[in-house]
Chain A
Amino acid sequence: MSPTPASASRRGFFARAISFMGSVAAAVRPAAPRTLQVDIAEGGSPGDGPRAKWGMAIDLDLCTACGGCVVACASENNVPMTGTSEAEAGTSIAWMGLLPKAEVQEEQQLPELLPMPCMHCEDAPCVKVCPVNATYQNDEGLVVQISDRCIGCRYCMVACPYSRRFFNWKEAEWPETYRNLLNPDVSTRPEGVVEKCSFCSHRIRKLREESRVAEHTITDADLQRLPACAQTCPANAIVFGDLNDSESLVSRMAASPRSARLLEHLGAKPKVFYLARERRNDG
């Protein structure tokens, strides 16, 4: 029950509704092929001009919490199959997870289930604590995890305020039929290391290579649904793109008044933006 006077809340509603419609209009506007402000086609050696800063925006008003992103992510990234027993034991791995219930974030109007990938923080606590540089931030803002370097001390897991890091408590197992369907673009991880969402960095690399061969200029439209979660999302709630490109959809969504980041007060500067759900009169 909100103690706010009805007129004030109505005004707030209209303001939000207008901004929401604005963003929807922006979202549905056909993305005209145009040259990106940032040369993301290269992405190669550091120091040759501005580069991409990958980010994600999740519109919670569109999200139906169907869980498609979770399944797509696991399938794309060879995440070991787990069932209820692992989930109950606390050993399952879900790079993209659904945050069960958002009681704490009441004022941010988050839904009951919140899709949560790695936040790829700009000032990531996990990167700070890794003793062997097994996790670091690359030139394009991705928080990368190198399993071969990882020693399994799990410091990053306890440091991550979003709990978006997972440990391989045992050797990964797949059913025989599934083993032939593993994604060859993503290496499987050994027992005893930490793993996490990569923003499907292998797809970025693939897109670059394919575009180079086809002499195609990468546009924002190529990027918006690039990660497996975004590609699968039936409601198009997840948008990926370059935050350094102010015209990209993800940048515009991030700039929306509905946009907020989780635990902003910690100063980790996450690069996943959530667009608040519109509370209509039915809720």
Chain B
Amino acid sequence: MSAQNEDPKALPIGMARFGMPFVLGFLLLGLVVAAGGLGYLQQRLHGDIVTGLRTVGQGGPAWGLYICFDVMFVGFAFAGISLSALTRLFRIQTLWPVTRIAEVLAVISLMMAGLCVIADLGRPWHGLINLPRYARTNSPFFGTFTLVIGSGLSASLLYLFLDLRVDAAWWSNRVGLHGQLFRWCAMGFRNTAQEHRRRRRVSFWLSLVLLPLMLISYSTLGFVFGIQGGRPGWFGALQAPSFVILAAMSGLGIIMVVAALVRRALALQEQISERVFLWLGTTVAILSLFYVYLIGVDTLTSRYASSEAQNVVSREITEGRFSPLFWSMLACFLVPTVVLLERGLRRKPSIALAVLSGVLINIGAVLNRFLVVVPSQTHGQLMPWPTGRYEPTWVEFSVVAGLLALGTMMFLIYLQVFPILPLQTLGLSTPVAAPKEVRTRALLRRTAAWITFLGGLALALLGLALSARWGTPRPEGDPLLPGSPVMFLMGVVMMLAAALVYELFPSARPKPVPETR
């Protein structure tokens, strides 16, 4: 066994390093969060008039920066979960070290996405009460609220927890608070071969379920825009797939950046190899190329023989008021693409270039989201209302910066509490054979998991049926039972929780564990 584990005071790599830079950085981030809070307070006190948003048709877009960053945050989560799931499914050994980073990022991003939506709502308290009560399946927001924020968040948390459990069990003989936390989090994981086999099985199935779930839920965010027939510039079948591609590339970009920073700050040069960046970088470059292709297709379609209004929006983007943003965006996509492809083809990783590319891609992604959300509202009028303009105010900037800072703070807190590298990367998780007398109660365990899954499925279907008013003459209306959207959400969460039941189901073993390994 590793010497590190023998010392009960030693903590996993990178944890509990409260150096001066950490404290200073934390304080600085705290200030930004406070500024965001102040901005939001202004919005609550004086109304949404303090934002740059205005009535559509009267000079403004009704959606702006908040929606852009909501899409951005959910995109990070989509990429994080997808990366982790694909790594597990295809056992991509190179990417193992960054799976934890990706998962943590996903959980935090989804929380920030939820806050972003709340910041956008005119009446947040009504939103928090009325959405669970009355959410309608007609609205693409149904998908956003139930699947993206609700199921996505619980799925990522579940995913992260089940993975962390293995680590926590390994480190559970630590002293002090960390030890207590690890012991609680391990939930009886004893590092036996059977448990690892179960872990692999669950991991496989969960990945298989999560990939389509994330794809569908993220697509609903694209549909929010893509299915609006009355909004030239939004309406189009390319919207959802474009959202997915951009989310993947910007999310992988941010994972590259975070991984490089973590690697540098915690001196993990050995554990997070340069090949990680080669993999991620090449993937980002290919996705980016494809995305630029999609932009081309979209621009051509909206320019060739389309409606006047669609033409106007497209012209405004490439030649008009928004053209500086558009061409900067293309540069932000193309420069990293060339750099990363060159590195990838020559198989010569460069972490500095990967970080730079990750940052550029994400700047491009912010610009792109802005160009998706805003111009259609300001210039895509089908009626000859005056065109609009949008300049976000300090309130919006501070709220968005506050959310980014809050997310970063949460990541830093995570770094202090749980290991950022999966045990497997450290080569520590060697399973031990279980003692002979342990009966795993495999049949019971499976039955319980299946019951949970099927119960969740039934609940989800019932919730969906009641929300969608299946079988009633008027499908548009209140859910047949108030709160049935929550029922649907809980059903989906319960289906996923079958994994939890399967893993946590207690084995029949009367006496306590002699040792943790």
- B131 x A89 contact (CB < 8 A): no
- A130 x B127 contact (CB < 8 A): no
- A268 x B230 contact (CB < 8 A): yes
Q: How distant is B498 from chain A, measured CB to nearest CB, in Å?
A: 29
Which one of A30-38, A62-70, A163-171 contacts B? Answer: A163-171
- B384 x A153 contact (CB < 8 A): no
Q: How distant is B146 from chain A, measured CB to nearest CB, in Å?
A: 10
Contact of B58 among A90, A125, A161, A262 (CB under 8 A): A90
What is the chain A residue whose CB lies nearest that of B382? A161
The residue among A92, A104, A131, A152 with the most chain B CB atoms within 10 A of its own CB is: A131
By a CB distance below 8 angstroms, the chain B residues around A263 are 230, 382-383
Report if B321 contacts A (CB, 8 A). Answer: no
A91-B49, A133-B477, A161-B383 known; A154 vs B62 contact (CB < 8 Å): yes
- A130 x B122 contact (CB < 8 A): no
The residue among B47, B123, B142 with the most chain A CB atoms within 10 A of its own CB is: B123
Residue total for A at the interface (Cβ-Cβ under 8 A):
58
In whole angstroms, how far apart are the Cα atoms of A122 and B123 in the complex? 28
A167-B55, A266-B230 known; A105 vs B384 contact (CB < 8 Å): yes
In whole angstroms, how far apart are the Cα atoms of A169 and B382 in the complex? 24
- B130 x A137 contact (CB < 8 A): no
By a CB distance below 8 angstroms, the chain A residues around B224 are 155
Report if B109 contacts A (CB, 8 A). Answer: no
Contact of A153 among B122, B229, B383 (CB under 8 A): B122
Contact of B383 among A91, A99, A150, A190 (CB under 8 A): A99
A151-B122, A157-B55, A161-B230 known; A101 vs B139 contact (CB < 8 Å): no
- B136 x A130 contact (CB < 8 A): yes
- A152 x B123 contact (CB < 8 A): yes
Q: How distant is A155 from chain B, measured CB to nearest CB, in Å?
A: 6
By a CB distance below 8 angstroms, the chain B residues around A191 are 47-48, 122
- B383 x A171 contact (CB < 8 A): no
Contact of A169 among B47, B126, B308 (CB under 8 A): B47
- A169 x B130 contact (CB < 8 A): no
Report if A141 contacts B (CB, 8 A). Answer: no
A133-B477, A151-B130 known; A158 vs B56 contact (CB < 8 Å): yes
- B478 x A133 contact (CB < 8 A): yes
Mark interface residues in B127-148 (1 if CB within 8 Å of A CB, else 0).
1001101111011111001000
A89-B59, A158-B377 known; A150 vs B123 contact (CB < 8 Å): yes
By a CB distance below 8 angstroms, the chain B residues around A157 are 55-56, 62
In whole angstroms, how far apart are the Cα atoms of A192 and B50 in the complex? 12
Report if B121 contacts A (CB, 8 A). Answer: yes
Mark interface residues in B55-73 (1 if CB within 8 Å of A CB, else 0).
1111111110000000000
Q: How distant is B385 from chain A, measured CB to nearest CB, in Å?
A: 5
Report if B54 contacts A (CB, 8 A). Answer: yes
Which residues in chain B, 287-320, are within 8 Å of chain A measured between CB atoms?
Answer: 308
By a CB distance below 8 angstroms, the chain A residues around B55 are 90-93, 157, 163, 165-167, 169
Q: How distant is B229 from chain A, measured CB to nearest CB, in Å?
A: 6
Which residues in chain B, 221-242, are within 8 Å of chain A measured between CB atoms?
Answer: 224, 228-231
Contact of B229 among A92, A125, A136, A190 (CB under 8 A): A125
- A167 x B62 contact (CB < 8 A): yes
Mark interface residues in A253-275 (1 if CB within 8 Å of B CB, else 0).
00000000011001110000000
Which residues in chain A, 68-104, are within 8 Å of chain B measured between CB atoms?
Answer: 87-93, 99-104
A137-B476, A167-B122 known; A131 vs B131 contact (CB < 8 Å): yes
What is the chain B residue whose CB lies nearest that of A170? B47
- B127 x A149 contact (CB < 8 A): no
Report if B346 contacts A (CB, 8 A). Answer: no
Report if B386 contacts A (CB, 8 A). Answer: yes
Report if A41 contacts B (CB, 8 A). Answer: no
The residue among B121, B126, B478 with the most chain A CB atoms within 10 A of its own CB is: B126
Q: How distant is B35 from chain A, measured CB to nearest CB, in Å?
A: 22
Residue total for B at the interface (Cβ-Cβ under 8 A):
51
In whole angstroms, how far apart are the Cα atoms of A161 and B59 in the complex? 15
Contact of B135 among A88, A93, A132, A171 (CB under 8 A): A132
By a CB distance below 8 angstroms, the chain A residues around B134 are 132-133, 149
Report if B511 contacts A (CB, 8 A). Answer: no
In whole angstroms, how far apart are the Cα atoms of A262 and B383 in the complex? 9
- A133 x B136 contact (CB < 8 A): yes
- A102 x B121 contact (CB < 8 A): no
Contact of B139 among A91, A129, A167 (CB under 8 A): A129
Report if A238 contacts B (CB, 8 A). Answer: no
Report if A128 contacts B (CB, 8 A). Answer: yes
Report if A127 contacts B (CB, 8 A). Answer: yes
- B136 x A103 contact (CB < 8 A): no
- A132 x B130 contact (CB < 8 A): yes
A91-B55, A129-B140, A168-B122 known; A162 vs B47 contact (CB < 8 Å): no
A129-B139, A168-B47 known; A163 vs B308 contact (CB < 8 Å): no
Which residues in chain B, 377-396, are within 8 Å of chain A measured between CB atoms?
Answer: 377, 381-386, 388
A90-B54, A151-B126, A157-B55 known; A131 vs B228 contact (CB < 8 Å): no
- B63 x A158 contact (CB < 8 A): yes
What is the chain A residue whose CB lies nearest that of B61? A158
Contact of A163 among B56, B139, B141, B477 (CB under 8 A): B56
Report if B436 contacts A (CB, 8 A). Answer: no
Report if A204 contacts B (CB, 8 A). Answer: no
Q: How distant is A94 from chain B, measured CB to nearest CB, in Å?
A: 9
Chain A residues near B (Cβ < 8 Å): 87-93, 99-105, 116, 125, 127-134, 136-137, 149-155, 157-171, 190-194, 262-263, 266-268
* 10 A/B residue pairs, CB under 8 Å, sorted by A: A88-B59, A90-B55, A90-B58, A125-B228, A125-B230, A133-B134, A133-B477, A192-B48, A262-B383, A266-B230
Nearest 9 pairs between A and B by C-beta?
A152-B122, A163-B57, A161-B230, A192-B122, A90-B59, A90-B54, A170-B47, A131-B141, A151-B127
Q: Told that A169-B53, A192-B48 touch, could you supply 20 new A-B pairs with CB distance under 8 A?
A: A88-B59, A102-B384, A104-B383, A125-B228, A127-B476, A128-B139, A129-B138, A129-B228, A131-B136, A132-B135, A150-B126, A153-B127, A155-B141, A157-B55, A160-B230, A163-B56, A163-B381, A163-B383, A167-B55, A171-B47
